[in-house]
């Protein structure tokens, strides 16, 4: 009968050890980090040449958008100023003429004016 308590004690110690190890196994396991070869962040010259026209067009579009927004804002404020002064709305008023049309063609300026007048 002596071997049975020793076996029970050994079994209890094993269960206790596995219980402690089991709690640790529920924790997230570290993912091994594998070294990666260094990759150049700079694109190859062929890629730069291919993307240059695209980037140039995107830049021109951004500049045109900024010029349109600036002119439309100036035009709208000029109209508000004319309304507040009690003057009839005139697109050829001196205040409207002072709005910068830099970067815009005359057709674009006319389109913006037509849109602003239609919105009012």
At residue 97, the pLDDT reads 81
At residue 71, the pLDDT reads 92
> Would you call 7 exposed, middle or buried from its count of C-beta atoms within 10 A (0-12, 13-18, 19+)?
exposed
Total domain count, the chain: 1
Residue 25 lies in a domain: no
pLDDT block averages, 10 residues each, the chain of length 120: 51 54 53 55 61 85 94 88 77 76 92 83
At residue 73, the pLDDT reads 92
Nearest-Å Rg of the Cα atoms of the chain is 38
Residue 115 lies in a domain: yes
Residue 72 lies in a domain: yes
Residue 19 lies in a domain: no
Residue 21 lies in a domain: no
At residue 116, the pLDDT reads 84
Residue 26 lies in a domain: no
At residue 1, the pLDDT reads 46
Residue 75 lies in a domain: yes
Residue 68 lies in a domain: yes
The set of residues, in sequence order, having a beta carbon less than 8 Å from that of 117 and lying 6+ positions away, is: 89, 91
Model-level pTM?
Answer: 0.51
At residue 52, the pLDDT reads 82
Structural domain for 110, as ranges: 43-120
At residue 91, the pLDDT reads 66
Q: What is the 3 state secondary structure string of the chain?
A: CCHHHHHHHHHHHHHHHHHHHHHHHCCCCCCCCCCCCCCCCCCCHHHHHHHHHHHHHHHHHHHHHHHHHHHHHHHHHHHHHHHHHCCCCCCCCHHHHCCCCCCCCHHHHHHHHHHHHHHC
């Amino acid at each position: 009968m002596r071997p049975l308590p020793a076996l029970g004690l050994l079994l209890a110690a094993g269960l206790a050890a596995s219980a402690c190890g089991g709690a640790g196994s529920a924790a997230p396991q570290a993912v091994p980090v594998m070294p990666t070869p260094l990759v150049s962040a700079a694109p190859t010259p062929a890629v730069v040449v291919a993307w240059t026209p695209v980037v140039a067009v995107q830049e021109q579009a951004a500049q045109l958008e900024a010029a349109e927004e600036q002119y439309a804002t100036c035009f709208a404020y000029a109209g508000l100023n004319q309304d507040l002064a009690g003057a009839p709305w005139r697109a050829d008023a001196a205040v409207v003429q002072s709005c910068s049309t830099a970067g815009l063609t005359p057709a674009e300026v006319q389109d913006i004016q037509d849109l602003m007048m239609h919105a009012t």
